[in-house]
Structure 1
Amino acid sequence: MHKTWKKPLHKRKVWANVSWSGRLVHYMQPLVEHLFDIWLQQLPFPTLLKCVYTCGLLFFILLPILYPVMVMAVYYAMFQYIGEKHWNVVFPTKWDLIGNASHLWHFQVTNKKYILFVTMQIDRYRIIITAISSAVDYMRMALSVVFN
């Protein structure tokens, strides 16, 4: 702890004058360097796994924001449930969290043509993403052969 405060940026007077965004940049530098190191890994590490790793890392970075939002949503749903069941309060459609969640949970596409269309679109984008990531890997392999 004593060694940390002796560093130039961590001197108390200087650190007190640093803005919020400056502190964020200071603390995010190791994470961004780690992300760049992952993306600059050698060839056997595929691009698709790098994308999955980056999404997982971003999820863990956003957890401090997502957790309070989820807690607030759960407490609002409990408030809405108690209000509807015990006090006969009718919530407007925009604020009806329980009704929207149940509608989303029981959503079902009945037209077979729409289901086929959706599955075809999902397959199409899955193939496009796989092709792009494979093309990036093959380009990196070709460039590494050319320049080595």
Structure 2
Amino acid sequence: MGVSSRSAVAIHALTMLARWDDKSLTSAEIADSLASNPVLVRRILGSLRDAGLVWATEGRNGGWSLARPATQITLRDAYTAVEAGPVLSRHPHPPSDACEVGRNMQDLLDAEFRDAERALEERLSRTTIAHLVRQVLANERAAARRNH
């Protein structure tokens, strides 16, 4: 299974929760920012909750909040919470043993793909949600300066 959009939705939701850390946000508020469906957002938030990244409160002022500081949540945390299986798709069924390429390709690709996936995870581990919030705020300040 390849990468889906779940990672992007999860990272977006976590960044919103970190940006407005002083209040809980509803799945509808997060969905508005994503121009998406609140049901999809709730599913993603459920996976993030199961991974210990967010928590929810019910009731009148209920909503979602970060379960730990944004400085302690990496993009890898979000990715592993919502993505299942390897990033790069493997052969859907074993190739032919009667072919010299077929006999060797699966093992060769597995090694290459594992290395690429480790590199991806290492890179995602370097960026925190707090870092993304700082970038969002810096971009907004720069845009405000350009518009004045």
Instruction: Settle same-fold status: TM greater than 0.5.
Output: no
| Higher relative strand content | 2
Q: Highest CA radius of gyration, 1 or 2?
A: 1
What is the TM-score when the length of structure 1 is the normalising length? 0.30
| Higher relative helix content | 1
